[in-house]
Structures are given as structure tokens and as C-alpha cells.
Structure 1
């Protein structure tokens, strides 16, 4: 005998869409206490939480909750087709793509286009954010797969390498480094650096120096890539960035030179990452194959 009814499935899907019990209760025309009690009974029956409840914040969907909602929405769509074949509710497949913010201007639009062409029956949404925010979103089930650098993720994440990226030193045209034939981490230690304000990014770059026993001086921590490029173009120091836009000028039109830092240990992988190391959800597996074909550089 089945314990959960279609109404239970509607409850969970509404909470997932609205992100809060109060908004979902209003949509469903039930009281918030009744909805909360029903969700507690559903989770107790399933044996695991579907949402993470945090005071003063939106309810975050757990990975098990995301899978439950996807299957529940498909079940409700099938039920709607049985009840009213003339006006069926389309089955929904939803993919939530994450992208590291500095990669987004280059990879996000092609990724979205490629996914929508290859997976026309899926709704694809995206979130561009920093490393820690993307990792947190994957842990909470808010992002299914992320295009990012391989930084900050532990063994609980599955990764598929796409290509290697090397850092670049960004300087004004009259900077002394522009006259040197080869740039290395050692040569950079005698110049003030401009790094990203993003915690994991800055830690990674500084770690490259420290593993060689080098102690660079950091002049600025920039809140965005374009601020970093602008500071470097105005002679405020040497910008260090793995992301290298093709434009030879900053936003304000100041000329800028990009010098590769070829140290082998400084190379970093761009990966497709997801939380969990078991078999991927079928839609995530399809998306991984599509994006791998688009971006992989062997």
C-alpha cells in the first residue's frame, strides 16, 4: 500500500519551487503549520531529509530532495495526462548549471546554447558565482553540475577534466617585465602583485609561490577580473589571472599586455564537477557528455 499521495508530491514540488513553507502554503492554499507537518511526515517516511531548514533563509534542497522533486514532477505530469489527455502537463527535466564567474564570459553562453540544442526537452538554468558559492550550491543540490577550476573540492566531488589553463601576468606596456624574454614565478616576486579578492583563487596563487619558498608582495586584491585588469593597466602592479580575455585594453581603454607564466606547477585544470561520486543522474550524464565534447582539449 502506498503511503504518499499525489497531494504529498505536490507539496514537496511546491516547496522546492518557492523555496519557503510560507510561499508554498500560499500557492497550495493550505496553512503553513499543516504543510510543515506534512513535510515532516513525508521525510520521516522516506528516511532522509528533502530540505535543509535554516532560520531566516530559504529552504535549501538536498541532493536526495532534488532527485525526489524531479521524479515527483514527472509523476504529476503523467497523472495530469491520464486525467486530461487533451491538456497534458509536459514532463519537466531541469538542469542547473554552475559556472565560475571568471570563466562565465567565455564558456557560459556556448555551454547554454550547446545544452539547449542537444537537450531540447530540458530546461537549463545557470548560476555564475565564486568557488565557495558554487561548492556550497552543489552540496545543497542547488546546482547539478559546474564548469569551474579544480579548486576547493574534496573527494566527495566527481570531476571530469576539460583542459589545462596557465596563469598570465598582466602589465602596462611600459612595465619592466614586458622587456624580459621569459616570465616565471621567481621573476614576479620583485614586483607588487594584484590578485583576485576571491579567497580560494588568491590562496591558490599565493600557494604557488610559497611552495617554491617565495614571498611575494600583494599590492591589491581586486573584487573582479576587470578591476584587476584596470589596476594592472594603470601601473598599480602585476595582475595575476588564469582568465585571459583577448582584449588588449582594460574597460577604460588603457593598453594592457598579457605575459604567460609557463611554470608547469602553475597550470590548473578546468573541470566539470558534480557532488557525489556514484553514477550520475541521466540528465547530468547527458549534459556532461555534451559539454565535454564542446570544451575538452586533449
Structure 2
């Protein structure tokens, strides 16, 4: 077997995720398949690339060497595409996003042009992948979230601006749930529930949920990880799970949204762009479109509208 780009990508994803399971999810393959692929790669490179450590898998000395070479090759290949695109004309500005509530509204605005330049929008489930592809020129700009104190490292040459500096996450649960009648829910009262695992596993969300639950005296049962909204909402409506949710999320039949007492988990939304690909004027247009998409959802839930009106410091800076 000869090493191919997909093998180098697999090695890099394992290092980024810190676990085979996390890397397999990002690559869209099963963990056993990725483990088998890693063993084949290690036979070619001549030794183990990763060992299991206290916090997951860690690269060996050989692994560090292969990673450095792999990243260099992948960056060169991605730079080739980015530089070729820069020479070409009539290509759209490429925007990458994670699954945020404002995305629906932002997609509705993509028919607007940016000084004559069209926008294409792609959805990713990894903030790490978004930032990496921004640095490699695969995206010109990205919209992403961060939870609690987590900060997403951005590549060199990227500029960033905060859209929403703070929003308190809430809970979506079945309308038939005994706690559905409350105006606010104490996190400790959810100790026996089955939870939807946050879709993004590298924006600080899972760690924030586990830490908040630990402070409330329990460890959450993270039973489901489902990216399809309808399937997730159907499970919640049936009383089989609950989930964290952005407070601007729209209603879903059979479910209700309730704020968490004390707002133990909060998020922020940011826009980042490659300054070599996006002008200051284009960045301002993107920021305004994303901000308006968020503001269009503020009234979805009365409890968040009340919180939002009381916290003007969290509002986007609209020119």
C-alpha cells in the first residue's frame, strides 16, 4: 500500500479529535474501519503513530513526524486549490457554518450578492474543521459558535468579529414532561433524563454540559447524537430525551422550551473571515446579514425576548 491524501487526512483527524471515535465521526466512517485503516498506515510508516494517554490518544515521536509532514502536504494541496480559485473569475464567496438557528435565515439571504459576488453556503458539524478549512482557503468566511469559556483557535490571516456575545442555553423537553409547566428549570432536576449529545463536539458544548451537570450533582446520560432536527424533535416529543438548545430555536410540535435557572451554560456566535479573500466591506455585509438572521429569531420564545431586552450588551453592533 502507498500513502494517499486520505490516509494523511485520517492521521490529522485522529490527532485533532484526540480519539478514534471523534475522528471517525468527523470523517463519516465507523470506528472499527478507521482503526483498521490506521493499522495499515502504521505498517507503511513502520511503527505506532498514536498511543492511548490519560486524555485520549496521543501521537508518538514517529506520529509527530508523520503529522508534521502530513499537515504540510495537505496545506500545500489545499493552497493549490485556493490560489487557483483566486486567479479564476466569477467564483462565489464561500461561507461555512455550523448548525446554528440563524442559519435558516442566513440561507434565505444568500440570493443577495456581495458587490456582485454570489455566496455559497456549506454546513459542517465540526468547528475545528471549519477553522482549518478557513486557513486552507476552502472557505472564505465562517460562522460558528463557542460555549462558555471555550475559544476556537483561528488560523493565521483570519480576522473575527463577535455577532452575539452571550445567549443562555435552554432545555427542550416533551410538552407532557412534568417540568414543562415550570417557567424555569433547575439543572439538578434533570439528573435522571436521557440527553441528546450536542452535535458539535469541539465547540466546548459537551464539556460545558458535563461540567454544569457535575456542579449540579450528577453525570448526564448522553444517549443520542442525532443531526436530523425532525428525528431529534420526535424523540423529545415522545419523552425519550431532552436536549440543550439555543434560546432562539423555533417551536416544534409536542415539545416546549424552558430556560435553565441561573443560566449555567451560555454561548456566543462569531464570524471569521480570511482577510486575503474578503474585503472589509464584504465582511461588514456578511456580519449584517448574519446579525439580521439572528434578530429575526429573538421573538421565537418569550423568555429569551425578555432576557434579550434586558441585556443590550449582548446585541450585535449594527451600523
Shorter-chain-normalised TM-score: which range? 0.5 to 0.7
Counterpart position of 2:260: 261
Counterpart position of 1:229: 233
1:270 aligns with 2:274: no
Pair 172,213 (structure 1): closer, same or farther in 2 beyond 3 Å = closer
User: Aligned partners of 2:282, 2:186: CA distance in 1, in Å?
Assistant: 37
1:153 aligns with 2:152: yes
1:136 aligns with 2:114: no
1:292 aligns with 2:290: no
CA contact (8 A) 1:170 1:238 kept: yes
Counterpart position of 2:190: 188
Pair 69,142 (structure 1): closer, same or farther in 2 beyond 3 Å = same
User: Aligned partners of 2:282, 2:237: CA distance in 1, in Å?
Assistant: 39
1:52 deviates by 6.3
1:59-78 to structure 2, matched below 5 A, reads 60-62=77-79, 66=82, 68-69=83-84, 71-73=86-88
User: Aligned partners of 1:159, 1:207: CA distance in 2, in Å?
Assistant: 27
Counterpart position of 1:84: none
* DSSP-derived class of the 2:111 partner: helix
Counterpart position of 1:125: 120
User: Aligned partners of 2:154, 2:76: CA distance in 1, in Å?
Assistant: 26
Pair 173,128 (structure 1): closer, same or farther in 2 beyond 3 Å = same
CA contact (8 A) 2:111 2:119 kept: no
Residue correspondences, number: 214
Q: Tell me the alpha carbon deviations over residues 151-199 of structure 1, each in whole angstroms, 9 at most, x when there is no partner.
A: 6621545421112333221111110111233213333234332223442
Pair 60,263 (structure 1): closer, same or farther in 2 beyond 3 Å = farther
User: Aligned partners of 1:235, 1:180: CA distance in 2, in Å?
Assistant: 16
* DSSP-derived class of the 1:133 partner: helix
User: Aligned partners of 1:105, 1:93: CA distance in 2, in Å?
Assistant: 22
* DSSP-derived class of the 1:199 partner: coil
CA contact (8 A) 2:145 2:269 kept: yes
CA contact (8 A) 1:61 1:140 kept: yes
1:229 deviates by 1.6
* DSSP-derived class of the 1:258 partner: strand
Pair 71,127 (structure 1): closer, same or farther in 2 beyond 3 Å = closer
Counterpart position of 1:205: 209
User: Aligned partners of 2:76, 2:282: CA distance in 1, in Å?
Assistant: 26
CA contact (8 A) 2:185 2:261 kept: yes
Pair 211,292 (structure 1): closer, same or farther in 2 beyond 3 Å = farther
**Bigger Cα Rg:** 1
Pair 178,288 (structure 1): closer, same or farther in 2 beyond 3 Å = same
User: Aligned partners of 1:161, 1:182: CA distance in 2, in Å?
Assistant: 28
Q: 2:181 aligns with which of 157, 167, 179?
A: 179
Pair 288,230 (structure 1): closer, same or farther in 2 beyond 3 Å = same
Pair 234,212 (structure 1): closer, same or farther in 2 beyond 3 Å = closer
User: Aligned partners of 1:188, 1:238: CA distance in 2, in Å?
Assistant: 9
1:38-77 to structure 2, matched below 5 A, reads 53=73, 60-62=77-79, 66=82, 68-69=83-84, 71-73=86-88
Pair 283,140 (structure 1): closer, same or farther in 2 beyond 3 Å = closer
1:243 deviates by 6.6
1:130 deviates by 0.9
Give the TM-score taking structure 2 as reference length.
0.56
Give the TM-score taking structure 1 as reference length.
0.60
